[in-house]
Amino acid sequence: MTLISLKDAAITLGAPLFSNLNLTLHPGNRMGIVAPNGRGKSTFLRALAGQGDLTSGSLTRRRGLITGYLEQDVPDTLARQPLRHAVLSALSPEARESEGWRADIALDDLSIPAELHDRPVGALSGGWQRFAMLARVWVTEPDVLLLDEPTNELDLARIGLLQRWIRALPRETALIVASHDRAFLDDVCTHTLFLRPDHSAVFALPYGPALVALDEADAAQDRQYQNDLRAARQLRRQAAKLKNIGINSGSDLLVMKTKQLNERAARLEDAALPAHQQRSAGAIRLGNSGSHAKALIAVEATAVLAPDGRRLFRAPQLWIGPGERVVLLGANGVGKSRFLDLVIEGLRGAPGPVRAAPSVVAGISDQRLTALPGEVAPHALIAGRFDIGDQPARTLLAGAGIAIALQGKPIRHLSGGQKARLAMLMLRLAKPNFYLLDEPTNHLDIEGQEALETELASHGAAALIVSHDRSFVRTTGTRFWWIRAGALTEVESPEPFFAAALGGEPAR
Ligand SMILES: Nc1ncnc2c1ncn2[C@@H]1O[C@H](COP(=O)(O)OP(=O)(O)OP(=O)(O)O)[C@@H](O)[C@H]1O
Ligand SMILES: [Mg+2]
């Protein structure tokens, strides 16, 4: 039985995202989609969910198929709805009346604590918002789950929970998931699709082994290509020799033979397919304008409260000096974002427990990328906010991976990773000496994550960072503050926190 099948499917948006894609999804298949930023993963999932069209080819769904689609971004319309209500509203009006219990089961399956059920979705931490959206999808009892970067904003404990939840799905439930999280893909997938402009590749393997198979297929393709070109060159050399002899001897036969050889060479050259070349999704660059202040940021001993006045944790006296990159560790919802809010207020000069040295120039990137207005075009944003000319703005944007065709279109057309890259460009143009980064690797592809690590470390930038990405925390962090059991304490290494989080210990 086939749930979804694609025949010669293609989508072109400005540039071809994928083409000639043939794929069948069977019950129980768990398929990861892998591609760099801006290459069409979300566009593909949207088409599978019936919310977008193919440019050509066909997409067939089994009759009555229920697809559950988790979008990459939390829709604004959900922000004000209480969580349980948001889950209920995913049901039909009749089901809502008689089967409201299904919402409670979905909330329970995902271990969403009861005290959050009545809070507005917009007031939840990023990780819980994603789980709220997942509960909304799950309550509809889908045959196919389409998940777009579900681990973004989740802490390690919640990634573990999501992995366990996926493993416990009914066997026949199929899954298609776009992600840049290698460990997660390996854990949940049976199949891997490498989405490419042409010659996408599908393997009935999890990510790691699929990548090995892909490299082998690409290398074989490259050998074949080189062989074909070599054979064509040889034919042309023979043809040239024959032509000379033919001209000297006046033989028509040799002239014809020459023509045939050249034609064969041309056919070989036309048919030869170069191996896929991965294009970078754009460069990420950051700097460090430096400061002579001893302490860039000073925090008084304080109790950190939630917006509704609940006490989240106690923080002792703290400071951050030049070149220090502090990583704030702690479970989702423990108050990391709240602490960052306090620091942001301090950076803006507002009264409170946090003070910034006068020489501090802050570069702030929040989890939601709120500095990027959806309706403004990237070019207008950069040119309007920074004193740079029209052409330099274009060059900078193109370098950051935003093609000329997209520079004049509203930012909402950019992919998640392209938005993150634009936010990084804005940071760099602000020439900061102190970075405040809330989940900066969210949405970035693997190459982008590594570029960001290198940039922060190589410029000796000072930073306060919240990140669930272990590799990023290990390579960029120089100091670690762990919020647990109602208190913030400095620790030597992030490893005990990682171990506690992965083990499913609530670490609260
Ligand atoms: N109206 C448009 N005109 C031209 N290009 C567009 C338009 N809308 C979207 N695009 C481009 O289509 C491409 C596909 O975007 P998509 O969101 O599917 O990428 P993605 O693979 O999910 O990336 P990410 O990893 O960053 O989430 C992007 O380059 C995007 O900027
Ligand atoms: Mg995407």
Helix (H, G, I), strand (E, B) or coil at 174: strand
Residue 360: its pLDDT value, please?
92
Residue 148: its pLDDT value, please?
97
| Ligand minimally distant from the alpha carbon of residue 282 | 1
Q: Are 122 and 75 in contact (CB under 8 A)?
A: no
Could you give the dihedral angle defined by the CA atoms of residues 268, 270, 271 and 277, in that order, rounded to the nearest 10 degrees?
A: 120
**Ligand 1 pocket test: which of 39, 415, 441, 446 has the largest number of ligand atoms within 8 Å of its C-beta?**
415
The answer on pLDDT for 353 being more than 90 is yes
What's the pLDDT tens digit per position in 1-38?
A: 899 999 999 999 888 999 999 999 999 999 999 999 99
In one-letter notation, the amino acid at residue 453 is E
The answer on pLDDT for 122 being more than 50 is yes
What is the percentage of the chain residues whose pLDDT exceeds 90? Answer: 59
Reported for 164-172, long-range contacts at CB under 8 A and 24+ positions apart, including other chains, are 165/109, 165/110, 166/30, 169/145, 171/27, 171/28, 172/27, 172/28, 172/143
For ligand 1, say whether the CB of 422 is within 6 Å of any of its atoms: no
Reported confidence tier of residue 139, pLDDT bands at 50, 70, 90: very high
Residue 495: its pLDDT value, please?
93
For ligand 1, say whether the CB of 419 is within 6 Å of any of its atoms: no
For ligand 1, say whether the CB of 440 is within 6 Å of any of its atoms: no
Residue 378: its pLDDT value, please?
95
The answer on pLDDT for 242 being more than 90 is no
Q: Are 168 and 8 in contact (CB under 8 A)?
A: no
What is the CA angle 445-198-222, rounded to 5?
90
Q: Which residue, by CA, sits nearest to atom 13 of ligand 1? A: 38
What's the pLDDT tens digit per position in 288-340?
A: 777 777 889 999 999 999 888 889 999 999 999 999 999 999 987 788 988 99
User: What does the chain come to in residues?
Assistant: 508
What is the distance between the alpha carbons of residues 489 and 316, in angstroms, rounded to a whole number?
8
For ligand 1, say whether the CB of 407 is within 6 Å of any of its atoms: no
Task: Look up residue 99 and give its two tokens.
Answer: 């089967």
The answer on pLDDT for 231 being more than 80 is yes
What is the distance between the alpha carbons of residues 217 and 19, in angstroms, rounded to a whole number?
18
Could you give the dihedral angle defined by the CA atoms of residues 407, 412, 417 and 419, in that order, rounded to the nearest 10 degrees?
A: 60
Residue 30: its pLDDT value, please?
97
Residue 376: its pLDDT value, please?
92
The residue behind tokens 């199949």 is 191
20 sits in which H/E element: strand 15-25
| Ligand minimally distant from the alpha carbon of residue 417 | 1
Compute the Cα dihedral for 154, 159, 163, 165 and give only its sign: negative
- 413-422 mean pLDDT: 92
Residue 461: its pLDDT value, please?
87
Q: Are 495 and 156 in contact (CB under 8 A)?
A: no
DSSP at 3: S
- 251-258 mean pLDDT: 84
Q: Where are the alpha helices (DSSP H) in 250-323?
A: 252-271
Exposure b/e, 70-82, CB count within 10 A at least 16 = b: bbbbbeeebeebb
| Ligand 1 geometric centre to CA of 213 (Å) | 27
Residue 504: its pLDDT value, please?
56
Helix (H, G, I), strand (E, B) or coil at 497: helix
Residue 367: its pLDDT value, please?
72
The answer on pLDDT for 63 being more than 90 is yes
Q: Are 465 and 440 in contact (CB under 8 A)?
A: yes
Which residue has better confidence, 451 or 247? Answer: 451
Which is it for strands 144-148 and 4-13: parallel, antiparallel or unpaired?
Answer: unpaired
Reported confidence tier of residue 355, pLDDT bands at 50, 70, 90: very high
The answer on pLDDT for 155 being more than 70 is yes
Partners of residue 314 on adjacent β-strands: 303, 487
For ligand 1, say whether the CB of 41 is within 6 Å of any of its atoms: yes
Residue 507: its pLDDT value, please?
38
Quick one: which of 274, 337, 310, 353 has its CA closest to 486?
310
The answer on pLDDT for 508 being more than 70 is no
- 92-104 mean pLDDT: 87
Residue 44: its pLDDT value, please?
97
448 sits in which H/E element: helix 446-458
Task: Look up residue 62 and give its two tokens.
Answer: 């089994």
Helix count and strand count (H, E) for the chain: 17, 20
| Ligand 1 geometric centre to CA of 17 (Å) | 8
What's the pLDDT tens digit per position in 451-504?
A: 898 888 888 889 999 998 888 899 899 999 999 999 999 999 999 998 888 775
- 432-443 mean pLDDT: 91
> Which atom of ligand 1 is least distant from the CA of 36?
25
Residue 415: its pLDDT value, please?
92
The answer on pLDDT for 88 being more than 90 is yes
- 435-455 mean pLDDT: 90
The answer on pLDDT for 506 being more than 50 is no
Task: Look up residue 300 and give its two tokens.
Answer: 């008084």
> Which atom of ligand 1 is least distant from the CA of 14?
4
| Ligand 2 geometric centre to CA of 168 (Å) | 26
Longest C-alpha distance within the chain, in Å? 100
Which residues, in sequence order, are CB contacts of 46 under 8 Å at separation 6+?
52, 69
For ligand 1, say whether the CB of 382 is within 6 Å of any of its atoms: no
For ligand 1, say whether the CB of 367 is within 6 Å of any of its atoms: no
The residue behind tokens 């049901």 is 91
